[in-house]
Amino acid sequence: MTGDPQKAKVEPLRKTMPCPECRRPSVREHYPFCSDRCRSLDLSRWLNGSYAIPVSEDETKADGADED
């Protein structure tokens, strides 16, 4: 091989996207975020309950209880 392996071009695995927190370009180490700070902020919101998955309005049907 004539080429230097350390100078080989590495293709990115994913397209760079804006960080969901601050809109700066994301980096591979923290994808899809730009930094550990933004990643931690997002995790904190999930843990504090700021983000929630919507539930059905009629919770009796969601539990499987029938009123027949």
Listed in sequence order, the residues at least 6 apart from 35 whose beta carbon sits closer than 8 Å to its beta carbon are 19, 27
Q: What are phi and psi of 18, to 5 degrees?
A: -70, 145
Please determine, for residue 66, whether its predicted confidence score (pLDDT) is greater than 70.
no
- pLDDT tens digits for range 4-63: 666 677 666 667 789 999 999 998 888 899 999 999 999 999 999 888 888 877 766 655
Q: Is the peptide bond before 18 cis (omega within 30 degrees of 0)?
A: no
List Cβ neighbours of 31 (8 Å cut-off, separation of 6 or more): 14
